[in-house]
Amino acid sequence: MIQTSTLSFLKGLKKNNDKTWFDANRKAYDAARKDVEAFVQSIIDAHAKKDPGIADLQAKQCMFRINRDVRFSKDKSPYKTNFGASINEGGKKALAGGYYIHIEPGASFAGGGIYMPMPPELKKVRQEIDYNTEEFEGILQSKAFTSIYGGLSDGEGMKLLRVPQGFDKESPAAEYLVYKSYIAMVKLTDKELTDPAIGKKILKAFDALQPLLAFIKRSLE
């Protein structure tokens, strides 16, 4: 589980997103990062029993830096107000799909998939869906997947308005071919995060996601 002190640090950072405050609270940041890192490692170690591909991963390989890249952003706040970990077989920078844990007060979630892949990889995934539509639908419509995720994430900017060029708009897979990302997420409340049972909830979510990741991985090979 996540310590309440970790959430308190993130809340404080959101209110005081500047270097002066951060430097004054460096010890709290170090403690919070170690807390999240230990939690992520426990999830990796437990889920690796079902997905051996992540068995050798270390949490520090999966976690993102707290510093924001502000070069091309109007928002010059120097720090992220969350901790994120991308648990991919090849590490957080791998092109393949993976699991994801996001810790942010009031906006935490777990899940994964493949997010905004480059055009060549996206085309491969779409082609696999087009060739094996029934199998893909079976994954998304399974009881395990729907009970946790409901379906693929389809918020703003996640889908095209029409079937992409090179695919038949009358294809049985048309409704899936318009996606630009293939991800699924389940929200986690602050209360859940600080409860010892949170590990079981995330592991159950990862179990339900695993068939989708295997499908994506196959499409990219």
Query: pLDDT tens-digit profile of 14-46?
Result: 999 999 999 999 999 999 999 999 999 999 999
Around Cβ 192, how many Cβ atoms within 10 Å? 15
Q: Is residue 95 scored above 80 in pLDDT?
A: no
- Count of domains observed in the chain: 1
The answer for residues whose C-beta is within 8 angstroms of residue 21's C-beta and 6 or more apart is 12, 13
Closest CA to 66 of 100, 45, 36: 36
DSSP helix/strand/coil, 19: helix
φ, ψ (nearest 5 deg) of residue 218: -60, -40
| Beta-ladder partners of 98 | 113
Do residues 203 and 87 touch, judged by C-beta distance below 8 A?
no
Instruction: State the pLDDT confidence band at 221, using cuts at 50, 70 and 90.
Output: confident
User: Rounded distance, CA 68 to CA 180, Å?
Assistant: 24
pLDDT of residue 73: 81
* Conformation bin of residue 59: beta by default, left when phi > 0, alpha when psi is -120 to 50: alpha
User: Rounded distance, CA 80 to CA 71, Å?
Assistant: 14
What tokens were used for 87?
């648990």
Residue span of the structural domain in which 83 resides: 4-220
Q: At what angle do helices 198-220 and 133-140 cross, to 10 degrees?
A: 170
Q: How many residues are listed for the chain in this entry? A: 221
| Beta-ladder partners of 108 | 188
Where would I find the H helices in the chain?
Answer: 4-15, 19-24, 26-47, 59-62, 119-131, 133-140, 143-149, 174-177, 190-193, 198-220
What tokens were used for 164?
């992409």
Token look-up 């399974």 returns: 142
pLDDT tens-digit map of 110-165? 999 999 999 999 999 999 999 999 999 999 999 999 999 999 999 888 999 999 99
State the maximum Cα–Cα separation within the chain, in Å, rounded to a whole number: 59
At 160, which CATH number?
3.30.930
pLDDT of residue 93: 66
55 Cα distance to chain centroid? 18
Instruction: State the pLDDT confidence band at 90, using cuts at 50, 70 and 90.
Output: confident
What tokens were used for 55?
């068995």
